[in-house]
Amino acid sequence: MKSKKTLEERFDDLSKTTVPALQVGSFVKFISTFSIENLSPGFVTTSEIDTRLWTIEGLTENLQAGLKAEFLICPKSKSEEELTNRGQSKSDVKVLIEPAEDVASLINNVNGEENFQVKFVPKVPGTYSITVKINGDKLVTSPLRVYVKERRIDVVGELVLKGEIPKESNGIAVNSEGTIAVSDIEKHCILIFDKDGNFVRKCGCHGQLKEPAGVTFLNNDELLVLDEKNHCIQQFNVQTGNFVKSFGKEGTGDGEFQSPQGICVNDKGHIVVVDLSHIRIQVLNKDGTFMFKFGDNAHGKLDTPSGCIYHKNKFIVSDIENHCLKVFDSSGKFLYKFGEEGEADGQFSFPWGLCIEKYGDHHSLLVCDFSNGRIQQFTMEGRFVGKTVTTLGNPKAIATTPDGRIL
């Protein structure tokens, strides 16, 4: 009985002991087999391997933030005896890339019978440390330090539009099939093109639309158009060009607009409208019924909002004359802002259109830096990634295509 009481007291003491947190790292784990595997992090007991006979290959000196980087972990020697021994055992390979919070899309697979392949996306420019362990032992070259440069967004060509072309475009959107919609404020219509730039049809006309601004796809078949001078939203079927419905009107009340500019749809299908002249963002349900508004109160108050996107429970709004982007939560509560007036990296001169670039499962933010004549790229949290290397004039609208082009 005394022993039992002693044990109970000991267990009670242990339960109150603070266990230090494990260090968080961005890492992948390999088990060598003869087929491709994607594995979750974990620990495996394996056979002994001489890490002096292994090396890291394939890392270039031109790594860029926001783009995929890859390298191989491979044996220096491939004698028949070594390959025989390798085929009879399993190798536990751990790859740690730091700073962990700046690494995205870390994946791995076994490449052939000897090589381990690692692919990752460095989020921002800077120095990264790569440590490789095989069965718990570091490679002699670990940790390997590499420098990642800022992303260079190159203009690789122009999408030549064929057939009817816009005179003065003010908005662009692309659906998941590659269909392109461009607003034309001079022709008072929306022009629809296929993925190769061939004109397909027109939505709206003078008298029906008056200086259309932002556009966004509600789905692959239906398009929402901000009718700036008619102060409403109009919906069209892009497969037929036919008008579907409109909602909103000129006014100061909820669900009413004055020169609306930007528009997007959130993950629930709710419609987000930049109500420029009233200096606010309005959120409507799928039927166009007002839900709530934000950006018009003292905390995080907007000055001249233009573009807006929604990503993972956050609204990101470009505030033109404050030369910054402001971030709000899903209920419209102001969280933070980033950017300031200037020409340096991460600074703006009248930021305008916004869009999200997807690279695997990694997302980044593209911003039209209007008066600086460039596109800047940021992490979704607002950290600078890169920019265009060619002056673009005065970009106002931007979109990405399913095949990775930026328009």
Q: Where do the structural domains in the chain lie, given as residue ranges? A: 51-77+90-149, 169-388
Is residue 113 pLDDT above 80, yes or no? no
Q: What tens digit of pLDDT does each residue of 149-163 get?
A: 999 988 877 888 888
The residue-averaged pLDDT of 289-309 equals 92
* pLDDT number for residue 12: 63
CA distances from 76 to 10, 54, 133 (A): 52, 5, 16
Bond into 99 cis (ω within 30): yes
Is residue 406 pLDDT above 50, yes or no? yes
Q: Tell which wins on pLDDT, 131 or 75.
A: 131
Is residue 84 pLDDT above 70, yes or no? no
CA distances from 376 to 69, 128, 169, 314, 345 (A): 21, 22, 21, 20, 8
Cβ density class 231-240: b for 16+ within 10 Å, e for less:
bbbbbbebee
Is residue 382 pLDDT above 80, yes or no? yes
CATH of domain 169-388: 2.120.10.30
Q: What tens digit of pLDDT does each residue of 318-352 get?
A: 999 999 999 999 999 999 999 999 999 999 999 99
Beta strands in 15-125 (DSSP E): 26-31, 54-57, 69-75, 92-98, 103-111, 115-122
The residue-averaged pLDDT of 230-257 equals 94
Is residue 15 pLDDT above 70, yes or no? no
Going by pLDDT thresholds of 50, 70 and 90, the confidence category of residue 142 is: confident
* pLDDT number for residue 147: 94
Q: How far is residue 205's CA from residue 188's CA, in Å, rounded to a whole number?
A: 6
Going by pLDDT thresholds of 50, 70 and 90, the confidence category of residue 6 is: low
Q: How far is residue 249's CA from residue 246's CA, in Å, rounded to a whole number?
A: 9
Percent of the chain with pLDDT over 70: 81
* pLDDT number for residue 42: 30
Q: Is this model's pTM higher than 0.85 or not?
A: no
Mean pLDDT over all residues of the chain?
A: 84
**Lowest mean per-residue pLDDT among 37-51, 88-102, 229-243, 352-366:** 37-51
Q: How far is residue 234's CA from residue 209's CA, in Å, rounded to a whole number?
A: 8
Q: How far is residue 380's CA from residue 369's CA, in Å, rounded to a whole number?
A: 16
**Lowest mean per-residue pLDDT among 54-58, 129-133, 214-218:** 54-58
| Helices (H) then strands (E): counts for the chain | 2, 30
Tokens describing residue 215: 């556009």
Going by pLDDT thresholds of 50, 70 and 90, the confidence category of residue 400 is: very high
Percent of the chain with pLDDT over 90: 57
Reported CATH class of domain 51-77+90-149: mainly beta
